Structure 1
Amino acid sequence: MGIEKYKGRVALVTGASAGIGAAIVQALLKHGLTVVGLARRADNVMALALKDAPGKLHALAGDVSSEESILSAFKWIKENLGGVDVLINNAGVFPSADLTAGKTEDWKRILDVNVLGLSVCTREAVQDMLKRGVDDGFIIHINSLIGHVLPTRSSFAMYCASKHAVKALLEGLRKDLVEKGSKIRVGEISPGLVKTEGIIRISQDVPKEVREASDLAILEPEDIAEGAIYMLSQHPRIQVYEMIIMPTGTKM
């Protein structure tokens, strides 16, 4: 029993317009899931549709930092598709936010998206699954390698804190579901450096000579998507709870 058990079922992917989210959307479509991509740039999500894939794609415009926006998305899914069976909490932001001179608005954005938005999406998905009697649902958080180590740079401390929070929230969720007697599975994927829009944008601030001399090991978004498919493909008795994906040769 592999991922085919989710064929035709509904998966919600947040932060779906680019990078890891976009790769996960297309991987799920190839396996026949009905995928709802939630992002501020819904037109970019629709561009991910695959002509020959058995799955169907729906694009919703929304901002994970807004509870109202999240609730609206879940309402649309409930009314049009029946409900969410798989949630991939991928949306995340990582502005540089120094702890002694950073802007409160930057700190708030990090926590609103990476922690609170993820939590609201999780709550709504689990409540919906429980109400519908879905006992084989799956919640996957896209965490980060930095959620397992201490900050490598002081300016990333708040981002690092948000990712450590994701790890704690996952264990809290697992225990909550066990106490409820639910077989809904949970897991997190923690990648090292991945070639995404955000990483490319940050790299532009690095001096050219440093970029050219760097032997930085980096992953492709599709590598993380394959990790999500692996999690979903396991027998219901198996919960792949933690997956750390590091690029070969990384020095972190």
Structure 2
Amino acid sequence: MERWSGKIVIVTGASSGIGAALSLCLANHGLKVVGLARRAHLIDYLALKVTGKGSINSRRCDISEPKDIEAAFQWVEKKFGGPDILVNNAGFLKFGNITDLGNNALSEDAIISTLDINIKGMIMCTRHAISSMRKRNFNGHIININSITGHYVPYRSSFNVYSSTKHAVTAFTIALNNELAELKSQIKVTSISPGLVYTEMVNDFKVGYPILEPEAVADAIIYVLSTPPNVNISELVIEPISERRL
């Protein structure tokens, strides 16, 4: 991780869960973290816990809004010079069905939020980050927080819209790696696919299911970032022992 010391990393959805654990871990490894979230005050509290040589800075940003994203990345460029690493961590999960055939249909707002945050926001953040890296001629790293549900469709139909967006993350990561290779870019792109993680999104599964702590996912990301410049881990799946398919 020495080559990343003092570098700028943007973490979306940094106010809780994986984003919070990762932000603290990266700062303790000497990176300058810019946490983006709607609840920016929670990131400010997190900054007080840093014990390493890095730092955590907050910026309020709604990842579902392209104008918010554009303003946030412009702010990072002006204040810090631009991102060297982007972690697309922000995610939205609302349990419910695609249709109203049963009694648990998702609202249209919930469906749109799932698409906007899990797909649209991730793609827009990536575009801004790579544009900044290109302008600075820096070979950075894009990390997309995916899910094991991005590799299979759970039998629980209440995951259907979420799983659909995570399959899109899988496809987007592959497509972006292909594009960067075609254009002779050395920027890395990695998909991290955790199983169940102890976050606000999975309250219904916190009892009786094997579950990962957010810090375990943060450690996996540190491992990915620690690889040599000529090595890219395009996909990493991390699950708790004995986890079964949903």
Aligned to 1:112: 116
Aligned to 2:154: 151
1:13-162 correspondence runs (5 A):
13-49=11-47, 50-101=49-100, 102-135=106-139, 137-162=140-165
Paired with 2:17 and 2:191, the residues of 1 have a C-alpha distance of: 17
> Do the aligned partners of 1:97 and 1:107 also contact (CA within 8 Å) in 2?
no
2:227 aligned with 1:224, yes or no? no
Q: Return 236-245 or 160-169, whichever deviates more.
A: 236-245
Q: Deviations over 1:211-246 (max 9, x none)?
A: 4xx3x1000000000011000001111111111001
Paired with 2:51 and 2:114, the residues of 1 have a C-alpha distance of: 37
- Residue type of the partner of 1:121? C
Aligned to 1:249: 242
Tell me by how many angstroms 1:199 deviates.
Answer: 1.3
Task: Provide structure 2 residue ranges, at least 5 long, that are not aligned to the other structure.
Answer: 101-105
Paired with 1:76 and 1:191, the residues of 2 have a C-alpha distance of: 31
> Do the aligned partners of 1:97 and 1:106 also contact (CA within 8 Å) in 2?
no
Tell me by how many angstroms 1:95 deviates.
Answer: 0.6
2:193 is paired with a residue of what secondary structure? strand
2:184 aligned with 1:190, yes or no? no
> Do the aligned partners of 1:95 and 1:106 also contact (CA within 8 Å) in 2?
yes
Aligned CA distance change for structure 1 residues 67 and 156 (closer, same or farther; 3 Å): same
> Do the aligned partners of 1:74 and 1:124 also contact (CA within 8 Å) in 2?
yes
> Do the aligned partners of 1:7 and 1:31 also contact (CA within 8 Å) in 2?
yes
1:71 is paired with a residue of what secondary structure? helix
Paired with 2:171 and 2:50, the residues of 1 have a C-alpha distance of: 39
Aligned CA distance change for structure 1 residues 219 and 51 (closer, same or farther; 3 Å): closer
- Residue type of the partner of 1:166? V
Tell me by how many angstroms 1:150 deviates.
Answer: 1.0
Aligned to 2:184: 181
Tell me by how many angstroms 1:151 deviates.
Answer: 2.4
Tell me by how many angstroms 1:52 deviates.
Answer: 2.4
Paired with 2:124 and 2:148, the residues of 1 have a C-alpha distance of: 23
2:233 aligned with 1:240, yes or no? yes
Tell me by how many angstroms 1:97 deviates.
Answer: 2.9
* Divergent runs of 4+, >6 A: none
Paired with 1:198 and 1:158, the residues of 2 have a C-alpha distance of: 14
Q: Deviations over 1:79-99 (max 9, x none)?
A: 000001000000000112311
Tell me by how many angstroms 1:251 deviates.
Answer: 1.6
1:57 is paired with a residue of what secondary structure? strand
Paired with 1:161 and 1:72, the residues of 2 have a C-alpha distance of: 29
> Do the aligned partners of 1:217 and 1:247 also contact (CA within 8 Å) in 2?
yes
> Do the aligned partners of 2:28 and 2:50 also contact (CA within 8 Å) in 1?
no
1:111 is paired with a residue of what secondary structure? helix
Question: Aligned residue pairs: how many?
Answer: 239
- Residue type of the partner of 2:226? S
Paired with 1:180 and 1:125, the residues of 2 have a C-alpha distance of: 16
Share of identical aligned residues, percent? Answer: 42
> Do the aligned partners of 1:30 and 1:55 also contact (CA within 8 Å) in 2?
yes
- Residue type of the partner of 1:220? E
Paired with 2:188 and 2:65, the residues of 1 have a C-alpha distance of: 26
Task: Provide structure 1 residue ranges, at least 5 long, that are not aligned to the other structure.
Answer: 205-210
> Do the aligned partners of 2:9 and 2:32 also contact (CA within 8 Å) in 1?
yes
Paired with 1:150 and 1:169, the residues of 2 have a C-alpha distance of: 17
Paired with 2:234 and 2:197, the residues of 1 have a C-alpha distance of: 21
